Structure 1
Amino acid sequence: MDKILIRQLKVDAIIGIHEWEKQNKQALILDLDLSFDCKPAAKSDDINDTLDYFKVCQQLTDFISASRFELIETLAEKSAQMILDYYPCKKVKLSLFKPEAINNTDAVGVRITRSQ
């Protein structure tokens, strides 16, 4: 299966269980592997025949920026489902990182894979 890869998408969001996290946006970083058949787009060279990664990033950024969740697991699940609902993906592998969660780490995160 072919894939579109999106790496290091940065989005600020309200997320966390602590009171200070519920008041201040934090940086989140996403990596996505979006599985779909890219042969039609490769043949036609037409953006309408592919999965438009610009639109995916914009919709995901808008959704995450407006969201308020306590757990990154919940945000990852909702984000993956949104992509599957709106785009011609067969499978979404999504990694969501929270860089400022724990001192002395680059980030903590979750990785999920969801299919149609």
Structure 2
Amino acid sequence: MGEQRQRFNEEFKQRTVRYIQEQTKSVADIAEELNIPKGTLHKWLAQYRTFENEPLANAQRVRDLEQLLKEKERELQAKDRQIADVEEQLAIVKKAVHIFSKSPRN
């Protein structure tokens, strides 16, 4: 037979969300600690989250933003390399056009 489904009252859900917001642990760690599925906690967060219970820069948010910044820096460096390559190609084409557009001397 299947496992009995757990039911939680609204107050428990709200207290749990407040607990998640006050911690520096990940949602997965808290889910394991409370023996509640991670997806359920994410659903509760979406439903009951209030930002006054949450520090402006929690550790996970800082890590996420640092990772995003690194990705954007890599993208920017790749685009800078592409621009340098295209500028070099353009300079070569300009020289070629200049050379071949000269009228032959007799």
Decide: shared fold, TM above 0.5: no
Larger of the two Rg values belongs to structure:
2
TM range (shorter): under 0.3
* Greater strand share, structure number: 1
Using the size of structure 2 for normalisation, the TM-score is 0.27
Q: Comparing both chains, which one has the higher relative contact order based on Cα–Cα distances under 8 Å and sequence gaps of 6 or more?
A: 1
